[in-house]
Structure 1
Amino acid sequence: MAAGSVQIIAVCGPTVGAINVAGRSISCGTDANGNPLYLATLQAYVLDPSSASYIDAVAQPFDYVQAAGFWGLAFTTVITLWLVSHGAGAIVNFVRRA
């Protein structure tokens, strides 16, 4: 299922755009420095409103505390399994040599 679609939108920008009326670019105001802004088209990926909540949930900042908890659990599990298998190997070697 697509989260949106590619569409052509109109934006105000500092460069002379492709939208012309009678051979002249359409002005849509000025920026904070007084430079003129012109109407232009832009190809953009526009999200479907029903997918916006999913995208917002995925775009959360990385949680280092939770990642450290998962890493600690995985590291502890690996070390525990290594110690158990090392001890089992020592017992097997002891029985084999006896």
Structure 2
Amino acid sequence: MAAGSVQLVLVCAPALSADQVNTVDQQVCPAVGGQSFHLQQQQAYVLAPESAGYMDSIAQPFDYTAAAGFWGLAFTTIITLWLVSHGSGAIVNFLRRS
């Protein structure tokens, strides 16, 4: 399922000179601080409203506390497995020598 679609949108782009601006541009994009704007068509990827929850969930900041918990569990598991196998190897070597 697509999260959105490609659509044409209108944006107010800064005008390089005042002669580029017509009356429609002035009505839709009013001048701010002496800078005039004109309407410009641009292709954009617009998100669908039903995918907003998914996008918000993946845009969350990285949770270092949860990552530290997972890393600690994995590290403890590896060390425990190594100690068990090392002890088992010592017992097998002891039985082999006797």
Pick the TM interval, shorter chain.
Answer: 0.7 to 0.9
Kindly indicate which of the two structures has a greater share of residues assigned to helix.
2
Mapped partners of 1:15, 1:24: distance in 2: 7
Report if aligned partners of 2:13, 2:40 keep a CA contact under 8 Å in 1: yes
Q: Structure 2 unaligned segments of length 5 or more: list them.
A: none
Identity of aligned residues (%): 63
The root-mean-square deviation of aligned C-alpha atoms, in Å, is 1.8
Mapped partners of 2:95, 2:37: distance in 1: 85
Kindly indicate which of the two structures has a greater share of residues assigned to strand.
1
Look up the match of 1:30.
31
Look up the match of 2:97.
97
TM-fit CA distance, 1:42:
1.4
Q: Structure 1 unaligned segments of length 5 or more: list them.
A: 17-22
Look up the match of 1:12.
12
Normalised by the length of structure 1, the TM-score is: 0.82
Q: Which amino acid aligns with 1:47?
A: L
TM-fit CA distance, 1:39:
1.0
Q: Could you report, residue by residue, the CA deviation over 1:13-60 in whole angstroms, capped at 9, with x for unpaired residues?
A: 2256xxxxxx865341234x4322221111111111111111111111
**Does structure 1 residue 71 correspond to structure 2 residue 59?**
no
Report if aligned partners of 2:21, 2:37 keep a CA contact under 8 Å in 1: no
Mapped partners of 2:13, 2:72: distance in 1: 49
How many positions carry a matched residue from both structures? 91
Report if aligned partners of 2:4, 2:45 keep a CA contact under 8 Å in 1: yes
Normalised by the length of structure 2, the TM-score is: 0.82
